[in-house]
Amino acid sequence: MSTLTPETKEKILSSIRTIPDFPKPGIQFKDITTLLNNPEAFRTLMDHLQERYASYDLDYIAGIDARGFIFGSVLADRLGIGFVPIRKKGKLPYTTVSEKYSLEYGFDEVEIHIDAFGEGGLCRERPARVLLIDDLIATGGTAAAAARLIDKVGARCVECCFVLELIFLKGREGIDAPVYSVLQL
């Protein structure tokens, strides 16, 4: 099942609710809570991701705050590897490294523990191989910053994975790693 059929894609997509005009007028918010509480659709998605990434020789999954934590921790457990959270600034308790990214009006920051992937990012005497995951890629600013963070602490972001990609926003173009999205809108 590494390639989803149109039927399985539709099963996942139809489980995601669209909320019009949230958080502001004109936005069609994709609400994944309905995917999460649909065990058949969620299992289909996670089975697909497990099969896709089983041969990637990954050391860690890094999830972006907060919905990436859900998909990332489940996938890390299924693959028998570690999970690392990438959080909004000020949420991690130990020494961190941060990366800024632009928003429509200003900047924001994400952080990671300096030793998230071992001393100097090394795992098995080589840079740790990390998959970055989140629920959605829109403009790509957060994901690009998170991928840079992984590299900044000495690991290697081998791919960025998203459940949904809003392709008209071209967010993947700003990311310096391969990008995979399960569904494209």
135 contacts 67 by C-beta, under 8 angstroms: yes
Known catalytic residue at 67: yes
* Residue of 162, 89, 178, 76 whose CA lies nearest to 117: 76
* Residue of 104, 8, 91 whose CA lies nearest to 47: 8
Known catalytic residue at 104: yes
Partners of residue 149 on adjacent β-strands: none
64 contacts 142 by C-beta, under 8 angstroms: yes
2 contacts 52 by C-beta, under 8 angstroms: yes
96 contacts 90 by C-beta, under 8 angstroms: no
Q: Looking at 7, 104, 119, 125, which residue is catalytic? A: 104
Residue carrying structure tokens 């998230």 = 116
Q: Looking at 10, 40, 52, 67, which residue is catalytic? A: 67
Q: Which residues are catalytic?
A: 67, 104
